[in-house]
Chain A
Amino acid sequence: MYKIQEVPFREGLFVEDESGKPYLIGNKCLECGQKFFPPRPFCFSCSCEQMENVKLGNRGVIYSYSTSYSPSIMFDPPYVAGWIDVEEGLRIFAPLAVPEGMNLELGGGVELEISELCRKEDKIIIGYKYRPVAK
């Protein structure tokens, strides 16, 4: 049977743990502790080359967001995206999956999910996005 192929929009950026909980893959400087997403080849804060991968960004709060009424390469308008302040102390830009009728608030809690971003030809492009959590 014909099966549509699911492909990540970019390799090595997100993962699910054993229980299926999604995380972003960042890295952390072993010298100064600065964390990065996406992972950087060395520490952009202190230049240390000793880095280790860390899972991060499962939960956060909305720092700001916007709805675009023009297309981007991945999305037809309107689409919503925002800066999320994740629990590990980084601000990450990501699409927002907003349930119909829900008003977004700055400071509101969000959870990471890994799901379809768009479809291109015979492929489903998979990526990360944040979904508001009920209070």
Chain B
Amino acid sequence: MREVAILGGGTTVFGKFPEKTIGELGREAVLAAVSDAGIKVRDIEFGCCATVYGGFCVGQRIFKEAGISRIEVLNVENACASGASAIREAWYRIATGQCDVAIAAGVESMTTSPVALKLIPPPPDDLDGQLGMVVPMFFAMLMRRHMHEHGTTLDQIAQVSVKNHYNGCLNPYSHYQKELTSEEILESPMICDPITLLQCCPASDGAAAVILCAGNVAKRFSSKPVLIASSVLTSADYLFRWQDATFSEMSHRAAEMAYEMAGIGSKDIDCIELHDAFAICEIMHYEDLGLCKKGEGGRLIEEGKTYLNGDLPVNPSGGLLSKGHPLAATGVAQAVEIFRQLRGEAGDRQVHGAKVGLTHVLGGYVEGLESGAVSIHIFKR
């Protein structure tokens, strides 16, 4: 396998933009990434694009808006892990020598999608979905069990949302730019008990793109490339083998693979962007990514370790909770954030001296499995 670097990245602001088309959102992110990378669009040999609700040939639709045509384009879908899957595919093409320069993009317009403001009907073969399993219900059950088994408190869980909304205020690309208190979070409307509204990420519109390049040609374009030290994408195990639902087996397995591939451990990571679709998820992922022992995720945030000024800042961008969640753009935007952090270009939310960063994203609810997909990437400078 060849070494692969990220040369540049860009995102739109995340938020509600019903007036913007998929093509407009995508173009903005693609052109920002191309400009950041210091390449010309004609240098791009392969494009991989992720969308969940954008329709067909979305890669071709956004790339042509940015002046890119006549190249191999692959469109991918892995629910919320779609964007990370696009990066993984572009990484794989370059790592195996198929091309030298590629683009990975993710785009979503939740406000104009066919499911906007609608109850999304479960597929007919989803027995649990027929009987009332909705996504917040799944995580509410994990949350209640985590509190029961490990003594995790509502206040610890609310602190995740407090922290990420604080960080979001420092990120000009964030959907929300408003600080929240624990009281506001816990007293917001109940969605699925014990999950309240402000423990949930918003559905956002937005796009993100990164330019990947073979390590041996990266220097031609940039003096500060960021290396991809590991790229992992895997699927979940069956629920009949998932005994401890307070611990994400798939995330843990993916993390072990990623650490081994990078030749490092969790203690070597300086900053993390992880899948905080609900506040409880962040606490669970502290544990399955090995940042603390099983059951001690609540204490990790309470001690302030994952705040911007802590030992290991998590979701400096504001995470899904504040930055927002345009499904397929999220995984790519996480990589853009870590890229900026490792280059020292993250402005007011800069993690000082960050050299190694990790992104983690889960995708999909699949009946009978823990989830659909999980992807982890480790980046280093």
Do A and B belong to a common assembly?
Answer: yes
The interface of chain A, by Cβ under 8 A from chain B, is 9-10, 13, 34-36, 38, 44-45, 63-75, 79, 81-83, 90-91, 93-95, 106, 117, 127
Nearest 5 Cβ contacts at the A-B interface: A66-B140, A64-B141, A64-B145, A72-B132, A67-B193
Binds A, one of B7-15, B47-55, B119-127: B119-127
What residue of chain A has the Cβ atom nearest to residue B238's Cβ? Answer: A44
Q: Which of B82-124 contact A (CB under 8 A)?
A: 119, 121-122
Verify B144–A106 contact, CB threshold 8 A: yes
Complex-state Cα separation, A81 to B127, whole angstroms: 13
B133 within 8 A of A: yes
Smallest CB–CB gap between B42 and chain A, Å? 49
What residue of chain A has the Cβ atom nearest to residue B146's Cβ? Answer: A64
The interface of chain B, by Cβ under 8 A from chain A, is 119, 121-122, 127-134, 136-137, 140-142, 144-145, 148, 189-195, 238-241, 245
Smallest CB–CB gap between A41 and chain B, Å? 12
Complex-state Cα separation, A65 to B238, whole angstroms: 20
Verify B137–A10 contact, CB threshold 8 A: no
A/B pair count, beta carbons within 8 Å = 93
Smallest CB–CB gap between B151 and chain A, Å? 13
Verify B245–A74 contact, CB threshold 8 A: no
Complex-state Cα separation, A91 to B104, whole angstroms: 39
Verify B191–A70 contact, CB threshold 8 A: yes
Verify B132–A82 contact, CB threshold 8 A: no
Verify B192–A127 contact, CB threshold 8 A: no
Smallest CB–CB gap between A29 and chain B, Å? 11
What residue of chain B has the Cβ atom nearest to residue A127's Cβ? Answer: B131
Smallest CB–CB gap between A87 and chain B, Å? 15
Verify B240–A36 contact, CB threshold 8 A: yes
List A contacts of B192 (CB < 8 A).
66-70
List B contacts of A63 (CB < 8 A).
141, 145, 245
- Whether A70 contacts B134 in the complex (CB less than 8 A), given A65-B144, A91-B239, A106-B144, comes out as yes
Complex-state Cα separation, A10 to B245, whole angstroms: 27
- Whether A71 contacts B144 in the complex (CB less than 8 A), given A38-B127, A63-B245, A83-B245, comes out as no
Complex-state Cα separation, A9 to B137, whole angstroms: 21
Selected from B130, B133, B145, the residue in CB contact (under 8 A) with A106 is B145
Verify A82–B189 contact, CB threshold 8 A: no
List B contacts of A34 (CB < 8 A).
240
List A contacts of B137 (CB < 8 A).
66, 68, 81
- Besides A73-B122, A81-B137, 6 new A-B residue pairs in contact (Cβ under 8 A), listed by A number: A45-B240, A64-B148, A66-B141, A67-B192, A68-B192, A70-B192
Complex-state Cα separation, A67 to B189, whole angstroms: 13
Verify A73–B193 contact, CB threshold 8 A: no
What residue of chain B has the Cβ atom nearest to residue A104's Cβ? Answer: B144
Verify B240–A68 contact, CB threshold 8 A: no
Verify B119–A71 contact, CB threshold 8 A: yes
Smallest CB–CB gap between B272 and chain A, Å? 27
Smallest CB–CB gap between B264 and chain A, Å? 34
Smallest CB–CB gap between B356 and chain A, Å? 35
Smallest CB–CB gap between A40 and chain B, Å? 9
Interface centre among A63, A95, A117 (most CB of B within 10 A): A63
Complex-state Cα separation, A81 to B144, whole angstroms: 13
